[in-house]
């Protein structure tokens, strides 16, 4: 089964629509799932949630979704200096203020993880586990420089075996590695990439009878329109700079 996995849309409806159009133009995709962080940082949290509901795209809760959905005190995002902390606060307050009751209920209802079995639940595997950050917490950053031991510990926590795959987002930087026969796939980010490439990112994974295949996809979208929209609603210019540079500026 070939899956399209989209993560970290972060209220960027322009990027999401470009990615969905790209997926629609491809053949042979069996299902689309989202890996959370639907809201925060950009102008359109309600529109992003509505689009996913219209398309019946199931998925899981990112840290931004679960914190907004439960009225937590902050988004659980990593900050490295006082200005980043201030920006994180502005984004969180904006999102709390504009999300509708329907959106908030949807975010609160999202599951922590999803498990897929492309060959059916009547056989043991392969398994495809979807989480936002890690199998233990959606706030923990699973970066490409994490050790093999870290990866294997997470796989053990989740009960994964050789031939299985775990996919996650949260860091906004795509990567793929195989350790001990388990495939670890970071999807990257649809609406707020941090790897220096401003195009929307998602991943196609093929899992089933054959060896797993992982394909990272980048899609150009109307960055100017997304930046104009967040400026119009009064979000700081740094968020627009971030989108234009693919996270190369903070």
For Fe ion, the closer CB: 2 or 216: 216
193 versus 212: smaller Cβ distance to Fe ion = 193
Rounded CA separation 189/212 (Å):
21
Q: Is 8 in the site for Fe ion (CB under 5 A)?
A: yes
Min separation Cβ 34 and Fe ion, Å: 12
The CB-of-128 to Fe ion minimum distance in angstroms stands at: 20
Binding residues for Fe ion restricted to 102-141, rule: CB under 5 A: none
> Cβ closer to Fe ion: 88 or 227?
88
Cα–Cα distance measured from residue 99 to residue 73, given in angstroms and rounded to the nearest whole number: 16
Shortest CB 170 distance to Fe ion, Å:
6
Q: Rounded distance, CA 26 to CA 215, Å?
A: 13
Which is nearer to Fe ion, 37 or 195 (by Cβ)? 37
CB of 180 to Fe ion, least distance (A): 27
Residues in contact with Fe ion, counted by CB under 5 A, come to a total of 2
Q: Give 218-224's long-range contacts (Cβ < 8 A, gap of 24+).
A: 219/15, 219/18, 219/19, 219/22, 220/18, 221/14, 221/15, 221/17, 221/18, 221/19, 222/14, 222/18, 223/14, 223/198
**By the 8 A CB rule, do 72 and 18 touch?**
no
Q: Which one, of 125, 182, 170, lies nearest residue 34 by Cα?
A: 170
Please state, as a whole number, how many other Cβ atoms lie within 10 Å of the Cβ of residue 222: 13
Shortest Cβ 217–Fe ion spacing (Å): 18
Q: Which residue's CB is nearer to Fe ion, number 8 or number 195?
A: 8
| Cβ 188 to Fe ion shortest distance, Å | 11
Question: What's the rounded Cα separation, in Å, for the pair 66 and 35?
Answer: 12
Complex with Fe ion: residue 13 or 207, whichever CB lies closer: 13
Q: Which residues within the stretch 15-54 sit at the binding site for Fe ion (CB under 5 A)?
A: 37
Summarize as ranges the residues that interact with Fe ion (CB under 5 A).
8, 37
């Amino acid at each position: 089964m070939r899956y399209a996995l989209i993560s970290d849309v972060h209220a960027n409806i322009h990027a999401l629509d470009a990615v969905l159009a790209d997926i629609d133009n491809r053949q042979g995709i069996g299902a689309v799932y989202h890996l959370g962080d639907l809201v925060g940082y950009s102008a359109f949290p309600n529109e992003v949630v509505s689009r996913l509901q219209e398309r019946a795209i199931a998925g899981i809760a990112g840290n931004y979704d679960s914190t907004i959905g439960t009225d937590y005190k902050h988004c659980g995002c990593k900050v490295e200096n006082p200005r980043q902390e201030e920006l994180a606060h502005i984004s969180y307050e904006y999102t709390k203020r504009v999300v509708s009751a329907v959106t908030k209920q949807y975010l609160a209802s999202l599951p922590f993880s999803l498990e897929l079995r492309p060959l059916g639940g009547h056989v043991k595997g392969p398994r495809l586990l979807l989480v936002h950050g890690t199998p233990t917490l959606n706030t923990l950053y699973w970066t490409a420089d994490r050790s093999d031991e870290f990866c294997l510990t997470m796989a053990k926590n989740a009960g994964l075996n050789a031939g299985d795959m775990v996919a996650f987002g949260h860091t906004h930087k795509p990567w793929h590695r195989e350790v001990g026969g388990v495939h670890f796939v970071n999807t990257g980010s649809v609406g707020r990439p941090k790897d220096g490439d401003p195009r929307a990112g998602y991943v196609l994974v093929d899992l089933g009878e054959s060896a797993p295949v992982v394909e990272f996809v980048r899609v150009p979208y109307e960055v100017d329109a997304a930046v104009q929209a967040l400026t119009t609603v009064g979000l700081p210019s740094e968020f627009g700079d971030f989108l234009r540079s693919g996270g190369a500026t903070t």
